[in-house]
Homo-oligomer: A and B are copies of this chain.
């Protein structure tokens, strides 16, 4: 996209059209985030990805929990469900089970995901629910004004850790790998093009894709996960990283001080829909097939 130097009229026109396409995914509500918050570039990334993949607005359902990150669905012109703190994945699973045809994205903060929502991640991952889960990992509770989160680093001083955080943080990437997630990646809000690219890949993946997005909370974290710190720390996964190699992915994920961006792991295996279809055909082969298919889909299609 660094093509601003080239004076080709046609290309600019094309870009404009493309850009317009992207904008159609934005709702009329402007994001209410603090100026400079890393989350803005994630909105850009998601609209870019949807546009690139040509997914119709009506076919997208974005599910979120509670938190600054979880305000996300209000800013997009798609179907959206702003649910409860931590319940993103099971609600999203219900939507996907009801209608295979939808593109389902789940979105939440690090607290939403790994504190209150932690029970649900292993199961969405092992069942390989065909959805994309974006965790906006700012290492803090933003919406409630700056408490320690499960990904806060040791020594971080917050309003609930006035004597510095003493709890070892979790490692989201290792966790997701251990759960059997079929696509695991990491991006950084400060590298928006790479971020958009990874969102696109995650959405294109058939199965459960998990993207950890490192993102600064400019208001409540002035010391740890800042742009300047992250700019110094992040690196790309090595060129020769084999994303089919689980152990290699694990090894990369352990290097938390120098977080690598890219696709850690991906694999193809049956999705939850595949599993449910297998069950249906087994059930039907035992008995003459009966009428009542998935009327939800019929209804949606019927109008």
Contacts and interface: CB of A to CB of B under 8 A. Distances in A.
Nearest to A251: B247
Contacts of A122: 114, 118, 150, 170, 175
A93 to B, nearest CB: 12
Of the four ranges (under 10, 10 to 19, 20 to 34, 35 or more), the interface on chain A belongs to 35 or more
Nearest to A128: B168
Interface string A104-145: 000000000011111110110011100000000000000000
A219 to B, nearest CB: 25
Contacts of A115: 123
Of A177, A178, A272, most B-chain CB atoms within 10 Å: A178
A236 interface: no
Of A116, A119, A180, A251, most B-chain CB atoms within 10 Å: A119
A222 B114 CA distance: 37
A52 to B, nearest CB: 30
Of A117, A120, A168, A246, most B-chain CB atoms within 10 Å: A168
A98 to B, nearest CB: 18
Contact of A166 (B163, B179, B270): B270
Contacts of A270: 166
A27 interface: no
A17 interface: no
A126 B251 contact: no
B163 A282 contact: yes
A169 B128 CA distance: 11
A164 interface: yes
Contacts of A168: 126-128, 180, 269
A137 B204 CA distance: 36
Interface of A: 114-120, 122-123, 126-128, 150, 163-164, 166-171, 174-175, 177-180, 246-247, 250-251, 254, 269-270, 272, 275-276, 278-279, 282-283
